[in-house]
């Protein structure tokens, strides 16, 4: 039976690195993207040129109907899902809470939290042994921002990741009898485009000297951890929150 992995937010950053690495290790990769069709298709093409199997699926994970349709499309076009990486997430510009609007909060929680819940729900419907599935794995992408709260920058983003941690712990217990393992990775400062999206493209250079290892992580370092948690090498691990943060 082949491994079929859905990676949400898979068109760049940690998601893209995970897609490439998973394909090179023999998995069939389903790359979800919200709007960057060109980037997602570029990854699919590159994977196929290397002899791997990859597909792209458009869906805004904050839209329940879009998520449901994406999973149905995967059923039809690819086959039964064996793993989910809940990586899709958004971040807004650096801001203190006193300046944040409710609209901003609704938007970020809808994508980062509710989107992960709904994607996991649809994956469970296909993987759980109680519905004739064969089991599977879920890895949620959290953040070490949960440990310090990201004050003065994006406490809303940090709070969504705190929710993801709790979600991971609870869901791992719900699904243990269904042969579905649920874990989370918590990246620290990783050298991706997320810092530019938050309004400070040079944030890595500003912060790296404060880190114990004096450097930012690379997306491939997070990707390899995700794939380890998805693998049989982590077969007795569920409900774990694994920091990939260079000691931060």
Token pair for residue 188?
A: 């620290």
Instruction: Give the separation between CA 7 and CA 4, rounded to whole angstroms.
Output: 10
CB atoms < 10 A from the CB of 201, how many?
11
Residues paired with residue 20 on neighbouring β-strands, in sequence order: none
Cβ(163)–Cβ(120) under 8 Å?
A: no
Nearest to 183 by CA among 172, 197, 196: 172
Between vectors from CA 28 to CA 58 and to CA 35, what angle results, nearest 5°? 15
Task: Lay out the sheet containing 28-33: strands in order across.
Answer: 53-58, 28-33, 4-7, 83-86, 136-141, 180-187, 241-244
E strands, 107-245, in order: 136-141, 180-187, 241-244
Q: Is 20 a catalytic residue?
A: no
Q: Which residues are catalytic?
A: 157
């Amino acid at each position: 039976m082949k491994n079929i992995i859905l990676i949400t937010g898979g068109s760049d950053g940690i998601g893209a690195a995970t897609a490439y690495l998973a394909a090179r290790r023999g998995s069939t990769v389903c790359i979800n993207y919200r709007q960057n069709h060109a980037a997602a298709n570029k990854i699919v093409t590159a994977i196929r040129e290397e002899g791997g199997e990859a597909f792209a699926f458009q869906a805004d994970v904050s839209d329940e109907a879009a998520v449901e349709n994406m999973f149905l499309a995967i059923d039809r076009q690819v086959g039964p899902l064996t793993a989910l990486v809940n990586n899709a997430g958004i971040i807004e510009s650096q801001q203190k809470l006193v300046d944040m609007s409710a609209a901003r909060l609704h938007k970020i929680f809808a994508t980062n939290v509710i989107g992960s819940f709904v994607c996991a729900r649809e994956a469970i419907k296909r993987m759980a042994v109680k519905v004739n599935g064969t089991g599977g794995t879920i890895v949620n992408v959290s953040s070490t921002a949960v440990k310090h709260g990201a004050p003065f920058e994006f406490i809303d983003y940090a709070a969504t990741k705190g929710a993801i941690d709790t979600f991971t712990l609870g869901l791992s217990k719900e699904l243990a009898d269904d042969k579905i393992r649920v874990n989370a990775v918590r990246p620290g400062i990783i050298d991706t485009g997320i810092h530019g999206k938050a309004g400070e493209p040079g944030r890595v250079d500003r912060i790296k000297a404060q880190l114990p290892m004096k450097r930012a992580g690379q997306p491939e370092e997070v990707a390899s951890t995700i794939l380890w948690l998805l693998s049989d090498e982590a077969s007795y691990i569920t409900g774990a929150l694994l920091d990939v943060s260079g000691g931060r």
